[in-house]
Amino acid sequence: MYQSQFSIAEIEANGQFVITKEENAGGIVSIDAITSQLVYEIQGLYYYNSDVTANLDKIQLIQEGANRVRVKGVVGSPPPPTTKVSIIAKGGWQAEFHFFLSGLYIKVKAEMVQLQILTSMGEFATEFHTLKFTVTGSVPENQKNQNEATVDLRILARPGMLILSLLACIKW
């Protein structure tokens, strides 16, 4: 029989639920594991969906046994007026590279990196649908520390086969 490595949610009619797993599956279900997943996924007291907002300010996690955590205190509220939607079609890959440029003459340094990369790529550079070099941030004339003196040079590469991606804010 196939052993799922995913957690199992036993959802009750009153809104409480228990997170558990198959006995022989890997991993662990604990209050710490559930907390870290909630913090990673939600990052705040409200989890916004297109049909409901979950209010987590009174959430309680109770370890009921080995690999068994009860979750209660989550309250539903009306959904937000807008929702993010992402539609992605299979179409290839995307790669990002980041260089951190520091000090004065950032524009010159970014141009030098771009020239070096394009020169080393030769004719291969023309095979990309997208090959962008973008500097994010700016450096003041009199930097006080390394953080102020550093910007991000992002290089984005996508192959000739275009990846379709739509991210829209839909009003319900």
Interval 130-153: pLDDT, tens: 899 999 999 888 888 888 899 999
Q: Which helix (H) or strand (E) holds 28?
A: none
User: pTM for this structure?
Assistant: 0.48
- Per-residue model confidence (pLDDT) at position 162: 44
Query: Dihedral (C-alpha) 84, 85, 91, 93: value to the nearest 10 degrees?
Result: 20
Cα–Cα distance measured from residue 99 to residue 158, given in angstroms and rounded to the nearest whole number: 18
The greatest distance separating any two alpha carbons of the chain, rounded to the nearest whole angstrom, comes to 66
pLDDT, position 84: 66
Q: Give Cα 150 to chain centroid, integer Å.
A: 23
Helix (H, G, I), strand (E, B) or coil at 144: coil
Nearest Cα neighbor of 97 from 32, 157, 163 is: 157
* C-beta separation of 149 from 102 below 8 A: yes
